[in-house]
Amino acid sequence: MKSFRTRGIALTAACALSLSTIGWFGGDACAQAGAAELEAQSEHVEIRRVPLARLEASLPGDARLVLFAITDRPGLYVMHAPGLAGQGAMFSRVVALFERRDMPRDHIVTMTEIATHARRFRTNAADLTAGNNFSSTELAHFFDLARSQHLTLTPGERALQRIAVQTGLIGERNGDWQARSTRDFLITIPGLGTGPGGEIIDTQVRAAILSHELGHWQYFSDNAYAQACRSFWWRELSYDQRVELTRQLEALGYDASDRIVIDEAQAYLLHTPAPYMPLADVPGPNGFDVAAIRGRLKQRVAEATR
C-alpha cells in the first residue's frame, strides 16, 4: 500500500523519507542515528516461521525489525519494519523505480529527486512506503541496476540488501544480483508507533496495510485470481470507469500503466478496509460507484477461483 488516507493517518512521502533523505545528506543527527540502528538490526534480523493464519497475532507489539517466512504459502515473506521512517529508508528508491508516477523505469534516481517527487504529491497523501510488495526478481534488479550505475547505496538500502541476502531472496551469481526463485515475494508493513510527521501506526492501521499487501501477494501468486481481475478490468468496466480509476490512482502518485493500476485497483477494492479506502465515488450518469464495482469484482473473482 503505497498511498492511503484514513481518519487516523494521512501519510506523505516527505515525512516517510526523513530518515533516508535527511540522514543521507548528513544534516540530521537523529536521522543518522536511526540509520545506524537500522543497519545494526539488519545484521542479525530475527526470522520467524509461522502459517498465514497466525501471522497477525505474531506481529511484534513495537517497532522491531522482524522477518516472517510464511510456512503454508511457499515464497511469501513479510517484513515487519522498524517504523515508517526505517521502512522509507529501505524502500523509497525501490518504489520509485517500479511504481511511482513520472519516475524513470530504466535507472535509479537520486535522493534529491525522491524528495522533490514527495513534495509534489504531499497534498494527495502520496506516501511511498505505507507498505510495500516486491518480487525477489524486482529486488535483484534494483541492486543490479544500482551496481551498473555505480551508485552508493544508502544505509537503509544496505540494510535491505543484507536482509534479502540473509533470507535467501537474492544472491550474487557470476557478478550479478539474481533472485533465488521467481516465486519469492516480499511484503513489508511498518511497526507500531508514531511516524516522523506525527502519523500514528496502531494495530488497526497496521492490519489494514497488511491486508492490502497480502492482496498483492494473491494477485502475484494466484493466476486464476489475477486473470479474473484483468478480465474484469478490460471486459466489465466501462471505458469511463477505467479512466476514472486510473485518474484517482495517478492522483495518489501511482504510475498509470496497466501493470500497476489493475493490481492496485484489486488490492484497494477487495483487500482494503473501508475506513482506509482512498478511492471515491463520482456522481452522475457516467459516474463511479466504489461499492458497486467492489461487489461485481468480488463476484467475478469468487466465480473464477471456486
Q: Residue 205: CB partners within 8 Å, gap ≥ 6? A: 6, 8, 9, 276
pLDDT band at 30 (very low <50, low <70, confident <90, very high): low
Q: Angle of helix 223-231 relative to helix 258-271, nearest 10 degrees?
A: 100
pLDDT band at 16 (very low <50, low <70, confident <90, very high): very low
pLDDT tens column, 251-273: 988 999 999 999 999 999 999 99
**What pLDDT is attached to residue 272?**
97
Alpha-helix runs per DSSP H in the chain: 13-16, 23-25, 29-43, 55-58, 83-98, 111-121, 136-148, 155-166, 203-221, 223-231, 239-251, 258-271, 290-305
Bridge-based pairing of strands 76-81 and 185-190 is parallel
Q: By the 8 A CB rule, do 205 and 9 touch?
A: yes
pLDDT band at 204 (very low <50, low <70, confident <90, very high): very high
Higher pLDDT, 118 or 191: 191
Higher pLDDT, 20 or 75: 75
- Out of 3-17, 62-76, 138-152, 187-201, which region has the weakest mean confidence (pLDDT)? 3-17
pLDDT tens column, 205-241: 999 999 999 999 999 999 999 999 999 999 999 999 9
Average pLDDT over residues 45-60: 96
Domain boundaries along the sequence of the chain: 13-220, 223-305
Q: Residue 171: CB partners within 8 Å, gap ≥ 6? A: 165, 177, 178, 180
User: How much of the chain exceeds pLDDT 90, in percent?
Assistant: 70
pLDDT tens column, 276-294: 999 999 998 778 899 999 9
Of the ranges 37-41, 124-128, 149-153, the best mean pLDDT one = 149-153
**What pLDDT is attached to residue 279?**
96
The conformation of residue 236, written as its DSSP 8-state character, comes to I
**What pLDDT is attached to residue 269?**
98
Average pLDDT over residues 38-47: 87
Beta-bridged to residue 186, according to DSSP, are 77, 134
**What pLDDT is attached to residue 28?**
56
User: How much of the chain exceeds pLDDT 70, in percent?
Assistant: 86
pLDDT tens column, 149-179: 999 999 999 999 999 999 999 999 999 999 9
pLDDT surpasses 80 at 21: no
**What pLDDT is attached to residue 31?**
60
Alpha-helix runs per DSSP H in 167-257: 203-221, 223-231, 239-251
pLDDT surpasses 70 at 18: no
**What pLDDT is attached to residue 274?**
94
